[in-house]
Amino acid sequence: MSGVPRPERGLTGRTAVVTGGAQGIGAAVGERLCAEGCRVLVYDKSAPHGRATVEAWRAEGHAAHLAVGDVTDPAAVAAAFADLPEGWQRPTLLVNLAAGFVFKGLEATVTDWHAALDPTLVGLSLVTREFVAGLPERDADAAIVNMASISAHIAQSGFLTYNTGKAAVLGMTRCLAQDLAPRGVRVNSVSPGTVWNANNERFHREALGLDRAAAESAPEHGGKFLLGRFANPAEVAAPIAFLLSDEASFITGTDLAVDGGYLAV
């Protein structure tokens, strides 16, 4: 695992749950939290990816555990939180990354809408409810980060299902921040731009015939961002770790754009 020792930020020894943490941004978040000294519970539908990710962290001496399940299944969510390894404290950090990736417009069917919104919104709600149920009524010293997107802030042709879900995440974040502040729980979100992960690499190569360098040099792709490139997963994980940490102790109910300047123009 890469990285250098970091100053004490209130994360060492904490238990963190990362939904959708088996690969991509989620795996980068888990890796960063492991490096910060957290115990990390990965909650994901993909057993093969999840096992590989968690075993790699364990091999490097980190405390990591996998719970396989669907965030939209209340029983699976409850089981994930109940099945913590012996000696682990109840989670006080939560990163909601699981989402539905459906990109359709008005042609979207009822099935499409459920696939788009159920993981993104219902799943977020169920996981957050279970997380909060294990916290004290006051002074919980807990933090939640939800995954939004630049798509939550803009209109994009043919993206009705996805953008609607991510825009709702912003609303949920503000409402949860208000409701949970009296209990000592901070709730924020991040809005990344395009991240060069396995899915985006596959899309650019197979659908567009572009490698990363070509995609980033294209005005309609990487050129959309002020920095002229896509993000690496670790560049999204770092601000998430910040929002979870004591360094962000007076930040709640806000969205942090991690977008290479996209929303600035």
Enumerate the active-site residues.
Answer: 162
Compute CA distances 75 → 72, 79, 80, 81, 126, whole Å.
9, 6, 9, 10, 10
By residue count, the chain amounts to: 265
Give the number of other CB atoms < 10 A from CB of residue 48: 10
Task: Check residue 50 and give left, alpha or beta (phi > 0: left; psi -120 to 50: alpha).
Answer: alpha
How far is the C-alpha of 14 from the C-alpha of 8, rounded, in Å?
A: 12
Report the b/e string of 8-41 with b at 16+ CB within 10 A.
Answer: eebbeebbbbbbbbbbbbbbbbbbbbbbbbbbbb
Dihedral (Cα; 142, 147, 149, 151), 10-degree rounding: -120
Closest residue by Cα to residue 31 from 8, 60, 6, 7: 60
